[in-house]
Amino acid sequence: MASRQFSTPVTVLPPREFLSTGFEAINPSQIVEEERLPFYNRNHYYPMRIGEVLKDRYQILAKVGYGTSSTVWLCRDLRKQSYWVIKVHITTLKYNRELEVYKHLASVTIEHSGRLYIRQLEDSFKIKSRNGEHDCFVMTPLGMSLRTFQQMQPDSIFEQSLVKSALDQVLIGVDFLHDADVIHTDLHSDNLLIAITDDSILSTVEEDEIRTPSARKQVGDTFIYISRYMLGGAGPLTICDLGQARVGKEQSGIAMPVLYRAPEVILNMKWDNSVDIWSLGLLAWDLLERESLFRIYNNELELNDAYHLAAMTSLLGPPPPEFLKRSKETSKYWNIDGRF
């Protein structure tokens, strides 16, 4: 007689109750969190509520970050009884480049220690709001960004030994991306998060949210919560946010944050993974100095490529002849001898 197979029953935790009173109510006229970002539109973001359960599984515990295209939330997996973060994207992100990059990286079989320095995608799904669909990424919780940590330092600068250690880790991660034919294009201290070595911080954040609910403002039926920072030990730096990454060896078009933009991108040339190394050079400067290396405005309001390229020329000298020949755009700024 055939033996009967019995599956182990899965214990699903009940959702916890979160207070709907007792929090600091922020004046609706005050601009906070993602509202401060350029091009912010409240209708594009998912109207998350702390305590909400997504996909009958992930209960939202606290807000831990935000960006131009998403908000990030600590959650508890009620099935596996574990903690994750969920990155919830805006509705207007019709093509999710980051998801495609993660799918590409999942197909890469090379063995490289740098993979450990790249944030991993554990799961993805979609949720709906009144304004459309939102892509959701389930990821391992990480601590605060390197930029936030820098702001806690005296004069907001790091010791050289710490910067050297940070860059060593980032370079290993970037080397893996480049071996996998991925160009990040968006390397800066906001996208470098400190890994957590003490997971007890996650339950602490959950309990803190229950005892002392996060400050928030209400606009209509939407709440905008103030993020909680997590620092559970000083683990390795992890490269995050692949939303601007490109797959392939040679690329074209505008990319990179303006302050970190490489000259070949400014000049509409073809570009490759060397733009990431340019970004890392500027990152090193910004971790050690109070002022940015290059001036990119001709006044406090107007962005000016000419000022940006002039600052590069002043500090680095004239471009080599082979660089000048790569684009007709260079004749707007330099003569044939490389003089600006």
For residue 283, give both structure tokens.
């990152």
- Supply the pTM of this predicted model: 0.90
Residue 119 has a pLDDT of 96
Residue 101 has a pLDDT of 97
User: Is-catalytic flag, 337?
Assistant: no
Residue 300 has a pLDDT of 59
**20 CA to centre of own chain:** 30
Domain for residue 276, yes or no?
no
Please give the single-letter amino acid code of residue 164.
K
User: Residue 67, by phi and psi: left (phi above 0), alpha (psi -120 to 50) or beta?
Assistant: beta
Which of 106, 107, 67, 72 lies closest to 88, judged by CA? 72
Indicate which CATH number applies to the domain containing 16: 3.30.200.20
Domain for residue 247, yes or no?
no
Domain for residue 242, yes or no?
no
Q: How far apart are CA 211 and CA 74, in angstroms?
A: 16
Question: Among the options 77, 186, 276, 286, which is catalytic?
Answer: 186
**87 labelled ligand-binding:** yes
Domain for residue 224, yes or no?
yes
Q: Phi and psi of 86, rounded to 5°?
A: -120, 125
Residue 276 has a pLDDT of 98
Domain for residue 144, yes or no?
yes
Q: How far apart are CA 84 and CA 219, in angstroms?
A: 28
Domain for residue 174, yes or no?
no
Q: How far apart are CA 115 and CA 172, in angstroms?
A: 8
pLDDT in tens, the chain (340 residues): 455 555 556 688 899 999 888 999 999 999 999 999 989 999 999 999 999 999 999 999 999 999 889 999 999 999 999 999 999 999 998 889 999 999 999 999 999 999 999 999 999 999 999 999 999 999 999 999 999 999 999 899 999 999 999 999 999 999 999 999 999 999 999 999 999 999 999 999 999 999 999 999 999 989 999 999 888 878 999 999 999 999 999 999 999 999 999 999 999 999 999 999 999 999 999 999 988 898 777 665 566 888 899 999 999 999 999 999 999 899 999 998 888 9
Q: How far apart are CA 66 and CA 53, in angstroms?
A: 19
Query: How large is the angle between the packed helices 274-288 and 160-179, nearest 10 degrees?
Result: 170
Number of domains in the chain: 1
Give the list of residues 6+ apart from residue 126 with CB closer than 8 angstroms, or none: 133, 134, 135, 136
Residue 20 has a pLDDT of 85
Domain for residue 41, yes or no?
yes
Its domain, for residue 50, covers 11-107+120-152+196-233
